[in-house]
Amino acid sequence: MSAIILFLMIFVVVLPFMAKSRKTRIVIKRKLLNKQNPGKRIRMQELAKNFIDHNCVIQTVNSGITQASQGIIIDVTREGIMLEDKTGAIEAISFDWVVSIKEKGPKPKRPAE
């Protein structure tokens, strides 16, 4: 009886890690395929241009770790996205690692420069 409970406890603890690592492997494989097809990069660039001056969350993957960056997209170039966070720091994000771009909240009012 205790062996069954132990097995179930291990199963409940290990299963979420297995699912996450599988998802990460799928994303990495997709990124490697995207590098072989440069047309997909151009499409992501065109899509990202729609979010300029919008508050967005950009989901990226790097070395199997997924990360989310939030801020206002201030520029889109051939190579990536320039993102300004709420502290005013500017971050450059390469299209090679962008998984998704999601608009978060209403369009912010930026002061005139």
Does domain 1-107 fall under CATH 2.60.40.10? My reply is no
59, 104 Cβ separation under 8 angstroms = no
pLDDT of amino acid 66: 80
State pLDDT tens for residues 2-58.
777 877 777 667 666 665 666 676 776 666 666 666 666 678 888 899 999 999 999
pLDDT for 57:
93
Residue 96 · residue 46 · CB < 8 Å: no
Q: Is 77 left (phi over 0), alpha (psi -120 to 50) or beta?
A: beta
Domain boundaries, the chain: 1-107
pTM of the model: 0.60
